[in-house]
Amino acid sequence: MFSAMLGEAWHAMGANRLRTFLTMLGMVIGVGAVVLMMAIGQGAEASVKRSISAMGSHLFVVLSGPPRMGGARTATGNAPSLNVRDANAISELYGVMGVAPVTMGKGQVVYASNNWNTDVIGTTAEYMDIRGWGLSAGYAFSASDTRSATRVALLGKTVVQNLFGDDGEVDPVGKTIRINQRPFVVLGVLDSKGQTLDGRDQDDTIIVPLTTAQRKLFGNQLPGTVRQIMVQAESDNVMSMVEEALNSLLNQRHNIREGADSDFSVRNLTAIANSAAETARTMSLLLGAIASVSLLVGGIGIMNIMLVSVTERTREIGIRMAIGARERDILMQFLLEAIMISIVGCLIGIVIGVTGAVLVSVFTQAEVIVSSASVLIAFSVAASIGVFFGFYPARKAARLNPIEALRYQ
């Protein structure tokens, strides 16, 4: 009996194709929008999460220069206020696991006839551990390289591609490149890290020993000064304690009295990253919510058409009742029709949403994720909308008085 009703619902849908299609369109657009928006939102969330784990965990960065309001501008003056001795002092603090002083600048890199402009980071061997950054080839430099300021370099993937070509035929390890005209031996190739939260390519980087950078690349700086110090805490639990200790230690070392402006700033990168993840999640939810409104509108469209359909088919309902249809048979018939419209609309919507998501990822390079959960949610929401908005018209049909329905012209 149920299958007979399904068949009838299917026929009823086919009886007025244009109208059915238009009714469905609301559902199609709604579901398509939900699937697409959730794909974009979840993609953003995932890429944020990946950048966070690529950044390293429970990290602080201490920047030279006074703290500026309004975020992550390079608050580094011409004369960096931090130095290697600050870094050494920080490493003595309780709860600190690793410290890496960092200085950086632009470098023009040349290998054979290839030329590339990239960021050069001068730091200690510990930097790699703090950032959780591995090597895909060769090996990292050691403390002795830092001590003796050897001309060795670790290349990011993007740099390798630009200097040695994409095909991987030339092994960069052991080759000599020139950075700002000075020869450097390539010690290793860095693992790919992808983009940062703000979209910079982290693989477009060269890492050299701190001392080498200070003395041989960016020679105009005061000896021993660094632009920033990366600090890794032992665990999430000690983050706030370490932050306080950092501030008081550096204030003391830099002779900054209480209430005076400090010449450094401490940023909790993990907190910033977490809030970015939170933002991405909120955005994802918001997009979904906005898209759901169109589902609601689609549902109202279905209800509207079902009401029209019940009125138009009053006589048919009367005939069915006269030959023995119970109230619940009529109810089921119209409910099934509404559900079928929304489910078919939903399926089309899913196809369109997924196609849209693929197109978005192809054309914008943004990451999109179509999860089975989002498809399932869209599907079940659509089905419940069919039930919810189909119920009132169906009940109206079922409650008709048979003789009045039969008399209806």
Partner 1 sequence: MQASVIEVKHLYKAYRSAAGDFPVLKDVNLQVLPGDYVAIMGPSGSGKSTFMNILGCLDMPTAGSYVLDGYAVATMAADQVAKVRNQTIGFVFQGFNLLARASLLDNVALPLVYAGVSKEERHTRARLLLEKVGLSKHLDSHPNQISGGQQQRVAIARALVNQPRLILADEPTGNLDSTTSEEIMAIFDGLNQEGITIVLVTHETDIAEHAKRQVRFLDGCIVQDTGAAIAKASGVDHV
Residue ranges that bind partner 1, judged by CB under 8 A: 1, 3-5, 11-12, 15, 315-316, 318-329, 402-403, 406
Q: CA separation (Å) from 158 to 50, 104, 162, 205?
A: 18, 18, 6, 8
Q: What is d(CA 209, CA 142) in angstroms, rounded to the nearest whole number?
A: 8
Alpha-carbon Rg for the chain in angstroms = 32
Nearer to partner 1, 85 or 326 (CB): 326
The DSSP letter of residue 195 is: B
Nearer to partner 1, 25 or 406 (CB): 406
Cβ 402 to partner 1, closest distance in Å? 5
Retrieve residue 405's tokens.
């329905």
Cβ 324 to partner 1, closest distance in Å? 2
Nearer to partner 1, 222 or 403 (CB): 403
Cβ 316 to partner 1, closest distance in Å? 6
Which residue is listed with tokens 């089905």?
383
Cβ 22 to partner 1, closest distance in Å? 20
Nearer to partner 1, 234 or 329 (CB): 329
Residue 227 near residue 82 (C-beta atoms within 8 A)? yes
Q: What is d(CA 318, CA 382) in angstroms, rounded to the nearest whole number?
A: 30
Cβ 23 to partner 1, closest distance in Å? 18
9 Cβ contact partners less than 8 Å away, ≥ 6 residues apart? 333, 336, 337, 340
Nearer to partner 1, 1 or 69 (CB): 1
Cβ 10 to partner 1, closest distance in Å? 12
Cβ 304 to partner 1, closest distance in Å? 22
The DSSP letter of residue 238 is: G
CA atoms within 13 A on the CB side of 273: 21
Nearer to partner 1, 23 or 42 (CB): 23
Q: Which of 264, 269, 267 is nearest to 83 (CA)?
A: 264
Spell out a b/e string for 261-283, using b for 16 or more CB atoms within 10 Å of the CB, else e.
eebbbbbbbbebbeebbeebbeb
Nearer to partner 1, 154 or 332 (CB): 332
